[in-house]
Structure 1
Amino acid sequence: MSTPPTKTHPPSPSPLTRTPIPLLSPLRTHPKRGLPPTLASTYPHGHISGHPRSASQQASLDARKAEILRTMGSSKEIERAYEVVVGRIREELEECERRGREVEGEMEKLRMEREMERRVWGKLRGLKEGGV
């Protein structure tokens, strides 16, 4: 008598030997909402590390979801709050990118200044050696 086919899951390692499953592993087939398509999990609601949530982690997540729904009310309010947070993060990212461009500009000026100093010192050394 044969057993009915079951959905195969990757082996679940013990908590002591858990190591992240490589990001490009073919076991990662479940995309994660809000993340690039290259980041997927091996389980529909699993961690990005590729492992399923433990019972305590799932209970904690469920409690947090219930708290959010109780304090925020509708999904529209949750989406608005999410957009506010995402907006703040985008503003910070844009500020970091702007500052990075400023630093790059300053570094380029310093590189040019250093090159000019190097040339001047080379000419002075040549004059010193040739004039002595």
Structure 2
Amino acid sequence: MDSRASTTPEYARAMVQFWIRFLATPNDVEDAVAIRMARQRIVQRGGRWFVIVLEEQALRTWFGSAEVQAGQLGRLLEVMALPQVSLGIIPLLWWTGFGVVVGGCSHHFRAGIRASTDIAGGQRW
């Protein structure tokens, strides 16, 4: 679940630690977690409408222990209940009319405009 607007600190920490080891990048776990938590405050305070779109695989990918995963799924349920949040799930495979497409990144929308797109390696378009 790589939607920064819906991660617990424990899940974010486990996920970032995984990618730091996998990609052999500098260890900035605490800074990355702090930034993710700061972004969540924007969503939680209201006044704006947010659409969060996750790939189905994000719900199936585990980072950390069973307790971390359970906390993360619980956090997602809390965020879904916020009146200013709409959550969409992109299936692993879906039919577009041009053929089957497999997802590969997460998109964040605000007021009908794509605000950012993240891929697994942390790059942003």
- TM-score, structure 1 normalization: 0.27
Query: Which structure has more strand as a fraction of its residues?
Result: 2
Structure with more contact order per residue of length (Cα contacts < 8 Å, sep ≥ 6): 2
User: Which is richer in helix?
Assistant: 1
Structure with the greater alpha carbon radius of gyration = 1
**TM-score with structure 2 length normalisation?**
0.28
